[in-house]
């Protein structure tokens, strides 16, 4: 019943000139999802067949929509002649009795609101029903102007000084009876100032013909449009706080929630704790009772239950098992698989490597293109030399191995089970199982020589100080005042 014989037309051809970035605003992400996909997915979920009008940067927009696995019809708007023209060119796709027209730049809309719109429209006999809203700062929006029973929408630049104070705005979401659209869409006149056809003129045209126009007021935060980067920021803050509130209801604790970035497709288990300034993005899944401490970035990762990511750690495209610790100041990237009960400590970088259960690399280490078994200890300062300037090579360290501190492991190299390497070794050959590898210069002790050396150095220093004039010039620090961005100086 829900879709009530409706086709949707989504307007996505505009040039986004107020964005000032030379990129369609509809391609910009809100909490990790391109803006246009909020509208598209909403229509997909409601099962409403959809036509999308594309023009500016059409290829990128079409690709995004195709990748979202919702089959829509695309119509190209050759000349960007305004929203009235954008709807007019979709005429041949009007195969339902009701036509739902939506701007592509309203990512906060909900399915419930569209269901309410469909329901009230069909029970009212109106030729058009549109969503309106009260905004305390209505600048930029078309205003809903009433004169007795007569309703019209007047665009910002055409408002009288008095009308500018009207706070009821047009949301850009309308449900038309197809017959009304067919009879009137070609009668919209070109706006003499903007040289565009305004879809909103249809409201006045219906009222002029004494046809019924219905308005449903809805919360402003559901219909905010995005014309500028500032509005994108405002909309994203709202979306982000909705996401955070949702996870709070699911038992996730956020420290300083307003500082946390979290994408729409992230999942977090109950009892987990997210610290100040953390970014959790691109479909990351965090288990229950995990801690992600302050200023971590967790990007496209899976972290299992009870794991602890210490502050200032960056983890990308990787998986971490249960009860493991990573950081502080660690970096894991490019397909790192960490097992259970693993300890990765400070200043450790791991790339494209697998580290099995109960192993640890606690300090100042680089592990690249490596496979590390269970119960392995990697000593402080260990480096895998995985790159010979041309190719990357693998290091394999099998179960139970102990790598002493400050080792360089020149790949390709295999350290077999339960082997031991001495501190300071440069390992260039495979190490057999249960063996000790020592690969460093042998130490020599010269007994009593230190004292002799000290006296010799002392004498040399005394003679050089007395014979020279010690001059030290300190250059004065020359601070140049920081230049503020031009526009900020005028604030």
Residues that bind ligand UD1 (CB under 6 A): 11-14, 53, 55, 77, 80-83, 85-86, 103-105, 141-142, 153, 155, 169-172, 198-200, 225, 227
- Please, which residue, 107 or 225, has the CB nearer to Ca ion? 225
DSSP 328: S
The reply to whether 105 sits near Ca ion by the rule CB under 5 A is yes
Partner in contact with 199, chosen from ligand UD1, Ca ion, none, beta carbon below 5 to 8 Å by kind = ligand UD1
- Please, which residue, 34 or 142, has the CB nearer to ligand UD1? 142
Residue 82 Cβ vs ligand UD1, minimum distance, rounded to whole Å = 5
* CA 357/CA 342 separation, integer angstroms: 6
φ, ψ for residue 208, nearest 5 deg: -60, -35
Partner in contact with 373, chosen from Ca ion, ligand UD1, none, beta carbon below 5 to 8 Å by kind = none
Which is catalytic among the residues 150, 261, 363, 393?
363
Q: Dump strand ranges (E) for 141-278.
A: 143-147, 150-154, 168-177, 213-217, 253-254, 261-262, 267-268, 273-274
Partner in contact with 301, chosen from ligand UD1, Ca ion, none, beta carbon below 5 to 8 Å by kind = none
The reply to whether 225 sits near Ca ion by the rule CB under 5 A is yes
The reply to whether 269 sits near Ca ion by the rule CB under 5 A is no
What sign has the CA pseudo-torsion 222, 227, 228, 232?
Answer: positive
Residue 171 Cβ vs ligand UD1, minimum distance, rounded to whole Å = 6
Give me 383's structure tokens. Answer: 């480096």
Buried-state track 30-59, b at ≥16 Cβ within 10 A, e below 16: bbbbbbbbbbbbbbbebebebbbbbbbbbe
Closest by CA to 135, choosing from 236, 9, 51, 231, is: 231
Residue 88 Cβ vs ligand UD1, minimum distance, rounded to whole Å = 10
Binding region for Ca ion (CB under 5 A) out of 22-30, 99-107, 116-124, 441-449: 99-107
The reply to whether 14 sits near Ca ion by the rule CB under 5 A is no
Does the active-site annotation cover 363? yes
φ, ψ for residue 91, nearest 5 deg: -45, -45
The reply to whether 358 sits near Ca ion by the rule CB under 5 A is no
Residue 323 Cβ vs ligand UD1, minimum distance, rounded to whole Å = 48
How many chain residues are in contact with Ca ion, going by CB under 5 A?
A: 3
Residue 186 Cβ vs Ca ion, minimum distance, rounded to whole Å = 24
- Please, which residue, 77 or 323, has the CB nearer to ligand UD1? 77
Partner in contact with 46, chosen from Ca ion, ligand UD1, none, beta carbon below 5 to 8 Å by kind = none
Residue 54 Cβ vs ligand UD1, minimum distance, rounded to whole Å = 8
Binding region for Ca ion (CB under 5 A) out of 178-186, 227-235, 291-299, 317-325: 227-235
The reply to whether 155 sits near Ca ion by the rule CB under 5 A is no
Partner in contact with 82, chosen from ligand UD1, Ca ion, none, beta carbon below 5 to 8 Å by kind = ligand UD1
Identify the burial level of 290 via C-beta atoms within 10 angstroms of its C-beta, where 0-12 means exposed, 13-18 middle and 19 or more buried.
buried
The CA distances from residue 336 to 257, 305, 323, in Å, are: 29, 17, 16
Q: Which residues contact 35 (CB under 8 A, 6 or more apart)?
A: 25, 26, 27, 28, 29, 104, 105, 107, 226, 232
DSSP 431: B
Q: Which residues contact 337 (CB under 8 A, 6 or more apart)?
A: 318, 319, 353, 354, 355
Residues of the shown chain interacting with Ca ion in the complex, contacts defined by CB under 5 A: 105, 225, 227
State the catalytic residues. Answer: 363
């Amino acid at each position: 019943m829900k879709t009530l014989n409706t086709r949707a037309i989504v307007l996505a051809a505009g040039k986004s000139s107020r964005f000032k970035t030379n990129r369609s605003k509809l391609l910009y992400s809100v909490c990790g999802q391109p803006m246009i996909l909020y509208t598209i997915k909403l229509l997909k979920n409601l099962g409403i067949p959809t036509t999308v009008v594309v023009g500016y940067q059409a290829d990128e927009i079409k690709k995004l929509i195709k990748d979202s696995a919702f089959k829509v019809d695309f119509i190209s708007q050759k000349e960007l002649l305004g929203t009235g023209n954008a709807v007019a060119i979709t005429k041949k796709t009007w195969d339902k009795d009701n036509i739902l027209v939506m701007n592509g730049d309203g990512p906060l809309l909900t399915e419930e609101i569209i269901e309410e719109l469909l329901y009230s429209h069909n029970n009212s006999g109106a030729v058009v029903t549109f969503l309106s809203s009260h905004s305390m700062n209505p600048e930029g929006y078309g205003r809903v102007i009433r004169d007795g029973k007569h309703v019209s929408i007047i665009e910002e630049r055409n408002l009288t000084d008095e009308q500018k104070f009207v706070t009821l705005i047009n949301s850009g979401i309308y449900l038309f009876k197809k017959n009304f659209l067919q009879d009137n869409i070609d009668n919209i006149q070109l706006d003499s100032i903007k040289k565009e056809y305004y879809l909103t003129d249809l409201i006045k045209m219906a009222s002029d013909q004494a046809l019924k126009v219905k308005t449903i007021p809805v919360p402003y935060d559901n219909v905010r449009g995005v014309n500028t980067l500032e509005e994108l920021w405002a909309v994203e803050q709202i979306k982000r706080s909705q996401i955070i509130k949702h996870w709070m209801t699911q038992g996730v604790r956020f420290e300083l929630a307003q500082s946390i970035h979290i994408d729409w497709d992230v999942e977090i288990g109950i009892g987990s704790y997210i610290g100040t300034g953390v970014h959790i993005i691109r479909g990351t899944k965090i288990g229950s009772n995990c801690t992600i401490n302050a200023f971590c970035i967790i990007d496209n990762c899976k972290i299992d239950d009870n794991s602890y990511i210490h502050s200032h750690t960056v983890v990308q495209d990787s998986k971490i098992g249960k009860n493991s610790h990573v950081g502080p100041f660690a970096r894991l990237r490019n397909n790192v698989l960490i097992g259970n009960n693993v300890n990765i400590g400070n200043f450790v970088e791991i790339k494209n490597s697998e580290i099995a259960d109960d192993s640890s690399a606690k300090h100042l280490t680089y592990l690249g293109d490596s496979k590390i078994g269970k119960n392995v200890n990697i000593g402080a300062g260990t480096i895998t030399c995985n790159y010979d300037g041309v190719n990357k090579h693998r290091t394999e360290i099998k179960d139970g191995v102990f790598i002493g501190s400050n080792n360089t492991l020149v790949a390709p190299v295999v350290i077999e089970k339960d082997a031991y390497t001495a501190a300071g070794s440069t390992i260039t050959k495979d190490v057999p199982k249960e063996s000790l590898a020592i690969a460093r210069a042998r130490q020599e002790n010269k007994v009593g020589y230190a004292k002799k050396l000290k006296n010799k150095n002392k004498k040399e220093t005394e003679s050089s100080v007395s014979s020279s004039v010690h001059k030290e010039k300190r250059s004065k620090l020359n601070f140049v005042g920081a230049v503020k961005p031009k526009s900020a100086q005028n604030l």
